[in-house]
Structure 1
Amino acid sequence: MPTHSRAVPAHILLVEDDPGDELMAREAFEDDALDSQLHVARDGEQALDFLYQRGDFTNAPRPDFILLDLNLPRVDGRQVLREIKNDATVASIPVVVLTTSAAVEDLVACYDAHTNAYITKPAGYEEFIDVVRQINQFWLDTVRLPSDAAQ
């Protein structure tokens, strides 16, 4: 049962370089009844450009939360996380790390860098879809986001 309703669709930034994982995430968000718009950055540099509205992303909306893969081309997801959480203008945006890495050092480093959640991607299709749906449900229907304060 929803704990609050949103006045406008939520904007989610998915930072993912794997086309298969992107497709599964899109399917999970499209199947969900929650009102959201998924934006995709395919590497860390695009993610930062989206956040700071640079280059092709000059009209990008501020994301309500970010799903961040760690192993990205150009700018690594770990660096993206550090940059987000060290910049007061975007630090309040929740970041959920969604990665194949089950390494303890990645888990610890991400929480040290103030990630809001760390999830290891399930290998199976149905499990992956279910995890993304649960993330969507939690962040859009259960918790109040910083962007909710402006509504």
Structure 2
Amino acid sequence: MIKALNILLIEDDEIEVMKFNRVLSNLKTAHKIVEANNGEEAIAILKEKEIIPDIIVLDLNMPKINGIEFLGLLKSDDYLKYIPAIVLTTSSNSSDLLQCYRIGIAGYILKPLKYDEYVDRITKLVDYWGSTELITN
């Protein structure tokens, strides 16, 4: 059985946020999404510790604190470093991919151009993490 996830979505593009929310709203499981427009907002949300996400889904190209900088901060925090972070990006740059895996991401997904492919990838993402045993604080 797939459990509902608390997801921190870090994305500065409103259209991408709407797409992500639309896909999740059409699924049978009621996932909870907390949104941050950039890494700086995400760090503030995580430091409050009001809601600790089960997974973090983030873009790389964002203002203020970009995705790679955010990942470095996340993985250096003893309390937060175990939260699975999945990159959802348009960057197919191999150096970005390698750098993210070196930091310790749980996955790297390229945003497809076709909406049906996007739906498929996001559905598989939440189905996988919704059926995986996660660390709860």
TM-score class, shorter-chain normalisation, is over 0.9
Q: How does 1:22-41 map to 2 (within 5 A)?
A: 22-41=17-36
Following the alignment from structure 1 to structure 2, what is the Cα–Cα distance between the partners of residues 137 and 91?
Answer: 22
Following the alignment from structure 1 to structure 2, what is the Cα–Cα distance between the partners of residues 20 and 128?
Answer: 13
Give the match for residue 146 of structure 1. Answer: 135
Q: Which runs of 4+ in 1 moved over 3 A?
A: none
Contact 1:44 1:74 in 2 (8 A): yes
Q: Alpha carbon RMSD of aligned pairs, Å? A: 1.4
Q: How does 1:68-147 map to 2 (within 5 A)?
A: 68-141=58-131, 143-147=132-136
Q: What is the letter of the counterpart of residue 145 of structure 1? A: L
TM-score (norm 1): 0.86
Give the total of aligned pairs.
137
Give the match for residue 46 of structure 1. Answer: 41
Following the alignment from structure 1 to structure 2, what is the Cα–Cα distance between the partners of residues 128 and 60?
Answer: 30
- 2:33 is paired with a residue whose SS is strand
Give the match for residue 15 of structure 1. Answer: 10
Gaps of 5+ in 1: 54-58
Q: What is the letter of the counterpart of residue 133 of structure 2? A: R
After TM superposition, give the deviation of residue 60 of structure 1 in Å: 3.6
Following the alignment from structure 1 to structure 2, what is the Cα–Cα distance between the partners of residues 42 and 128?
Answer: 20
Q: Percent identity at matched positions?
A: 31
After TM superposition, give the deviation of residue 27 of structure 1 in Å: 0.7
Gaps of 5+ in 2: none
- 1:40 is paired with a residue whose SS is strand
Following the alignment from structure 2 to structure 1, what is the Cα–Cα distance between the partners of residues 119 and 12?
Answer: 17
Following the alignment from structure 2 to structure 1, what is the Cα–Cα distance between the partners of residues 21 and 92?
Answer: 23
